[in-house]
Structures are given as C-alpha cells and as structure tokens.
Chains A and B, each alone.
Chain A
Amino acid sequence: MTDTAQTPEQDERVKEISSFRKALIRPELGGICGTVLVFLFFAIFAGNSGMFNSQGVLNWSTVSAQFMIIAVGACLLMIAGEFDLSVGSMIGFAGMMIAIFSVSLGWPVWIAIILAFLICMSIGALNGYIVIKTGLPSFIVTLAFLFILRGFTIFIPQQLENRTIIGGISDAAEGDWLAPLFGGQVGGWFFEFLGERGLIEVFERGTRAGEPVVDGIPMLIVWALVLVAFGHFLLTRTQFGNWIFAAGGDAEAARNSGVPVNAVKIKMFIMTAFCATVFATCQVMEFGSAAADRGILKEFEAIIAVVIGGALLTGGYGSVIGAALGALIFGVVQQGLFFTGVESSLFRVFLGVILLLAVILNTYIRRLITGER
C-alpha cells in the first residue's frame, strides 16, 4: 500500500489536456467568444453605418463604460455570494444628493461629491450589515432599498425645490477641482491632432466648426478601465481576492478555514455602492442635472453584464474581465442595433437571446473547469 506513494499513477480516466485547450478554458472564454461574435456581426451588418467612425465608437464605448462601472461592483459582490438590486436606485439617489448639496444648498461641488460618496457607501455597508445580521437573502434586503432610495430621490427634491429634476450643476461645478475627475475628458490634444490631419471627422458648422467631433476620452471611460483593472487585480492577485471567492463558494467552509466572511461581504456591498456613485457622479457632471428617474433598471443591466461575462449567480465563480466583456457586449449590442436600423422594440428580444446563449455557453465552460455535474 505504501508503494503507491512514491510513484503516483495518473487516473487513466482523466484525459490529458493540451496546453492550448487549457489556456482556452477560462471563465472569460464565453465573454471573449461573445465579443468576437458581436463585433463580427456588426462589422457585417452595420459596417458603413457610422458605427465605426470616431463618433460611433465613442458612443458605444461610453455606453459600454457605463455598464462596466456598475458591472465591476456587481461582479465582485456576486462572486462573494450576494446581490445588490438597489444599484439603479442608488445611481438616482447619489446624483440627486450631489445636486441638492451643490445647487439647492449651494455648497462647493467637491464637498457635495465627497458627501454623496460617504452617504452611499454607508448605505452599501448598511445593506451588507442587514444581510449578514438577519441572514435574509440579499435579494430581498436590497429590493427594499431599491424602493427606499428611489422614494427619497423623488421626495427630497420635491420638498426642497418643487420639482424632480435639478439642473445647474454645470454652473456650480465651474472651476471646481474635483468635478473634472468625473465629468472631464482626457487626451484632447490627441484628437485635435487627428482632426487636423483629417483622420477623424470635424464639425462642419457652428461655433466649433473645424474642431474634431470627438474632442477627448470622457472620464467615464477612464473610470471604467481603472475600476476593471482594480477589480481584476483585487480578485486574482490578492489575499482578499481569495477570500471573495471563498465567501461566495461556501461561506461555512470559508469560516471554518478562518476567512472573515462577514467583513468580506460587507466590503463588497460598499464597493458596489462606490461603483454606483461613480456612475452617478460621472453622469451628473456630464449632463449637469440630476433627475428622479435616473438609473431605473440599471441593477438588472449590471447583473446581465456580469452573467454574460461568466459569473455564477450563486457565487464563488466569475471574472471581472469577463464582466467587463459582458458590459462591452451589452453596450455594443444596445447601440449597435440602432445603427443597423432594426426596430428598437426588438432590442429586448436580442438581449434575451444573447443572455440565453451566453449562459448556456458559460455553464458548459464552467463544468469543464470545475467538474460540476
């Protein structure tokens, strides 16, 4: 019996897997396949519709970046085994807080932004605390906050201002040091250069005639890339990342092994709230107003992007890169269908089909990796 120890034999039923196939089979595979398919599809059917000129690219990149920002939070939280359905309401609420602090109360915009972040992250922590303490499914607890936050987002401005849209934030943000971090643009000189060389389109008329139609990369996109990089790094390269997987894979087993599961989950709720607030701040700074109906249904869009990206709804498995690709697919499909000229009410049909295909493919890949049956 002891002899088997020195020369462990390979189980003949486990096939040797080529290194190529091994490199291919990763959680992101579904997202990568989907991205390639979607771009091929639109290259064929919307190739010369303006979808791939500078304005078009900026358009679907911006929409995808929006999805990415909230998908990163939703992805990490889902891997940690929880949901947050209050993301959409949180976006509306955070934007409204900034508007009220800066416009209604007249405080400096940077204070308004920091306060909004503090309030929203505290609400995220409260979400997590209630889930941990009561043991209720996060689905229910955050559903409650979906209503609570949306309610306040309508009630507070109505009480203070008798309206549900508060504008004038652009004027308030004039000269503020923090606002450009969310509403500004980077790389303007590069696009000016491209415009001068005739490499991208320029405005034909108006006060900005001759300027390039795309005059910089919105901070929204920068935030999306930074958050994706941060989330991916956190999840795969750090000790905390291992705890996120463990907390979502089997909270009891993780606790038995000494993982601070509760702290991990609460931190991920805070992270989700942070992402929602980044989304809201970018939106408010770009458009200069906050409205009570901002962000409706965004929580589902985030969850859909995460699921397209290969994460397991029940937690313990997934990838931030995958979620980012899911967001890209979502954004490209949503805007791309407009470019192809398809009747817009069919958007949901396509979304449903893509979601279904992605989940089937992802389940298949996941079974290959994890040996689930």
Chain B
Amino acid sequence: MTSEHAPIIEMRNIEKHFGSVIALAGVSVDVFPGECHCLLGDNGAGKSTFIKTMSGVHKPTAGEIMFEGKPMHFADPRDAISAGIATVHQHLAMIPLMSVSRNFFMGNEPVKKVGPLKLFDHDYANNVTMEEMRKMGINLRGPDQAVGTLSGGERQTVAIARAVHFGAKVLILDEPTSALGVRQTANVLATIDKVRKQGIAVVFITHNVRHALAVGDRFTVLNRGKTLGTAQRGQITPEELQDMMAGGQEMVALEGSLGGTV
C-alpha cells in the first residue's frame, strides 16, 4: 500500500523467551497508518505473545520496537495506551450491567465542574456515544441501553469506537471475530474498514483466512514463533495463506479429504 510514508510502528527481530520456552524467535513486522495489517497464525503460533509485546504487557527478550520512528520501551500497558496503542481484547473491557455511555467513558469520564464538585457530564457523554455509534453503523435504543443487551459484534464495535475516540493511533484487535456469527462478523469487518479509512493503523489478529482477506492490506503469517513473510493484498491466494498457517503438506492432504472447504 502506501509505502511513501514511514511506518508508525516497527517491530524488529523481536524475541521473547519464557524460561526455556522460546515463544518468539525473531519476528519483524511493521504497520503503516491507515493500513490493516493482518496477523495470521494457528493456535500457539505466538500471536498473543507478539501483540502483548506490542502493547507493553511483555518486554521483549531481544529486538527493538520503533514507534513513530523512535525506539520505545514500554514499562507497562499504560505507557503503550498513552502513546496511542490501544488493544481490544477478546474479553472486552466492557461491563454488561452498565449503559453503553457509561462504558464508553469508563475511566475517562467527561467532567463538568460545578464549584468544588466534579460531575459526570451525562449530556456530553450521551451525545458523543450516540454520535460515535452512529458513525460505526449501530443504532442504539438510547445511550442508557445496557451493554448486556448488545450482540457480541456490537460490543466489539463499541470497544473499537471507544479506542478510536480516545485517540488510538494503533488499534490491536485480538481475534474480534472468533466467536461471532456471519452477520455480526460482517459488521465488525465493516467497522475495521471505517477505522482504517480514518488513518489509524489496525493490527488484526485472526486465524480465519477469509476474514483476513476481506479487509487486510498486508498479511503476516506466524508459525512456531517465526514469521513466514509478509504479503501484499493481491499477491497471495487464500489457499497459499492457509498452507502457510498450517505449515504445509499435512494440511494439503487433509484439505483434499475435506473437499477443499476449510
């Protein structure tokens, strides 16, 4: 895609060891603003470790992280968040019992000062929430609707919209579509597309090749703690991606017996 401007985040030869276990053995990935970079890999390939390193949860054993051209050392996730790296986890930071607008501003409440009191500015929160949700294509019954009444896809969208609203430059989505139905998956993919068009770099982790191909600009496949290379959109077929993820021959045989449906 747009190779004329610099990557916002660049991970160079990242290694991560947990005791004697080598989770990552030299992984390099770069992400550009406005790009959806898909990170594919089977279970245990090292995807989670990699994004946790990117979001400041783990410190790399070796290798370096360049953020906006400068080397970065995140002490904890809070550092990464304030730098503009937001993660939307599989288990969302959402509280089902609370309303969408209270969830949206949880920890970042808009405050209206009345004398010495810090009041929660409900009008502002409600307006912003409704507006952001409308932008993402979700029509809420009202800002006081509880998150528990939303579908899984809608909750993902709320979490993504929240991260974007609070200034994320890099948005890491950890398997946002893994537990969703077809329709909801389509909605989440549409949301990703919108976020990308706002110039935000999206790192989309999945093990579903078709979801990746639907929105991805570039694709990096992780296998056993190593990258098997990064491919541009249009340079690779679904079958090739599937093969790289599964690691070759066995999958070909398996796929044959299943009639090419996987």
Binding site for B on A (CB under 8 A): 1-2, 4-6, 8-11, 14, 17, 22, 236-243, 245-246, 249-250, 253-254, 256-259, 312, 316-317, 369-372
Q: Is the CB of B190 within 8 A of A1?
A: yes
Residues of A within 8 A of B150 (CB): 371
CB contact between A370 and one of B119, B149, B193 (< 8 Å): that residue: B149
Q: Is the CB of B97 within 8 A of A254?
A: no
Q: Is the CB of B106 within 8 A of A254?
A: yes
Residues of B within 8 A of A1 (CB): 186, 189-190, 193, 214
Q: Is the CB of B134 within 8 A of A242?
A: no
Q: Is the CB of B187 within 8 A of A4?
A: yes
21 A-B residue pairs with CB within 8 Å: A1-B186, A9-B139, A10-B139, A14-B149, A22-B142, A238-B118, A239-B109, A241-B120, A249-B95, A249-B97, A250-B95, A253-B92, A253-B106, A254-B95, A254-B106, A256-B89, A257-B93, A258-B81, A312-B97, A316-B97, A372-B148
With A249-B96, A258-B107 known, 4 other A-B pairs at CB within 8 A are A5-B190, A242-B120, A254-B95, A257-B107
Residues of A within 8 A of B134 (CB): 8
Q: Is the CB of A370 within 8 A of B146?
A: yes
Q: Is the CB of B193 within 8 A of A317?
A: no
The 6 A-B residue pairs with the shortest CB-CB distance, nearest first, are A371-B149, A258-B107, A249-B95, A257-B107, A371-B148, A239-B109
Q: Is the CB of B109 within 8 A of A242?
A: yes
- Given A4-B137, A371-B150, A316:B93 Cβ within 8 A: no
Q: In the bound complex, how far is the Cα of B138 from the Cα of A372, in angstroms?
A: 20
B21 in contact (CB, < 8 A): no
B3 in contact (CB, < 8 A): no
CB of A137 to closest CB in B, whole Å: 20
Residues of B within 8 A of A238 (CB): 117-120
Q: Which residue of B lies closest to A1 (CB)?
A: B190
- Given A2-B190, A369-B146, A371-B146, A237:B119 Cβ within 8 A: yes
CB of B204 to closest CB in A, whole Å: 15
CB of A46 to closest CB in B, whole Å: 38
Q: Is the CB of A253 within 8 A of B139?
A: no
B25 in contact (CB, < 8 A): no
B 93-120 binary contact with A (CB < 8 Å = 1; else 0):
1111110001001111101000001111
Q: Is the CB of B97 within 8 A of A259?
A: no
Q: In the bound complex, how far is the Cα of B149 from the Cα of A258, in angstroms?
A: 24
CB contact between A257 and one of B96, B106, B142, B194 (< 8 Å): that residue: B106
B5 in contact (CB, < 8 A): no
- Given A5-B194, A8-B134, A245-B102, A253:B95 Cβ within 8 A: yes
CB contact between A5 and one of B98, B137, B151 (< 8 Å): that residue: B137
- Given A259-B106, A259-B107, A371-B150, A245:B97 Cβ within 8 A: yes
Q: In the bound complex, how far is the Cα of B186 from the Cα of A239, in angstroms?
A: 35
Q: Is the CB of A253 within 8 A of B119?
A: no
Q: In the bound complex, how far is the Cα of B200 from the Cα of A149, in angstroms?
A: 57
CB contact between A246 and one of B107, B139, B193 (< 8 Å): that residue: B107
Q: In the bound complex, how far is the Cα of B190 from the Cα of A10, in angstroms?
A: 16
Residues of A within 8 A of B190 (CB): 1-2, 4-5
By the criterion of a CB under 8 Å from any partner CB, how many residues of chain B are at the interface?
A: 43
B141 in contact (CB, < 8 A): yes
Residues of A within 8 A of B108 (CB): 257-258
Q: In the bound complex, how far is the Cα of B201 from the Cα of A228, in angstroms?
A: 48
CB contact between B141 and one of A5, A17, A239 (< 8 Å): that residue: A17
Residues of A within 8 A of B94 (CB): 253
- Given A242-B120, A370-B149, A316:B98 Cβ within 8 A: yes
- Given A238-B120, A242-B106, A242-B109, A253:B93 Cβ within 8 A: yes
Q: Is the CB of B105 within 8 A of A242?
A: yes
Residues of B within 8 A of A256 (CB): 77, 89, 93
Residues of B within 8 A of A254 (CB): 93, 95, 106-107
CB of A115 to closest CB in B, whole Å: 27
B143-165 CB contacts (< 8 Å) to partner A: 146, 148-151
Q: In the bound complex, how far is the Cα of B252 from the Cα of A371, in angstroms?
A: 44
Q: Is the CB of A370 within 8 A of B106?
A: no
Q: In the bound complex, how far is the Cα of B151 from the Cα of A84, in angstroms?
A: 35
Q: In the bound complex, how far is the Cα of B81 from the Cα of A258, in angstroms?
A: 10
Q: Is the CB of A239 within 8 A of B96?
A: no
Q: In the bound complex, how far is the Cα of B186 from the Cα of A9, in angstroms?
A: 14
B56-75 CB contacts (< 8 Å) to partner A: none
CB contact between A371 and one of B81, B96, B119 (< 8 Å): that residue: B96
Q: In the bound complex, how far is the Cα of B95 from the Cα of A243, in angstroms?
A: 11
Q: Is the CB of A245 within 8 A of B95?
A: yes
CB of B16 to closest CB in A, whole Å: 22
Q: In the bound complex, how far is the Cα of B9 from the Cα of A191, in angstroms?
A: 74
- Given A4-B137, A257-B106, A237:B120 Cβ within 8 A: yes
Q: Which residue of A lies closest to B105 (CB)?
A: A242
CB of B192 to closest CB in A, whole Å: 10
Q: Is the CB of A372 within 8 A of B96?
A: yes
Q: In the bound complex, how far is the Cα of B102 from the Cα of A250, in angstroms?
A: 13
CB of B76 to closest CB in A, whole Å: 12
Q: In the bound complex, how far is the Cα of B134 from the Cα of A371, in angstroms?
A: 21
Q: In the bound complex, how far is the Cα of B137 from the Cα of A5, in angstroms?
A: 5
Q: Is the CB of A239 within 8 A of B95?
A: no
Q: Is the CB of A246 within 8 A of B106?
A: yes
Q: Is the CB of B118 within 8 A of A239?
A: yes
Q: In the bound complex, how far is the Cα of B105 from the Cα of A258, in angstroms?
A: 10
Residues of B within 8 A of A10 (CB): 139
Q: Is the CB of B120 within 8 A of A370?
A: no
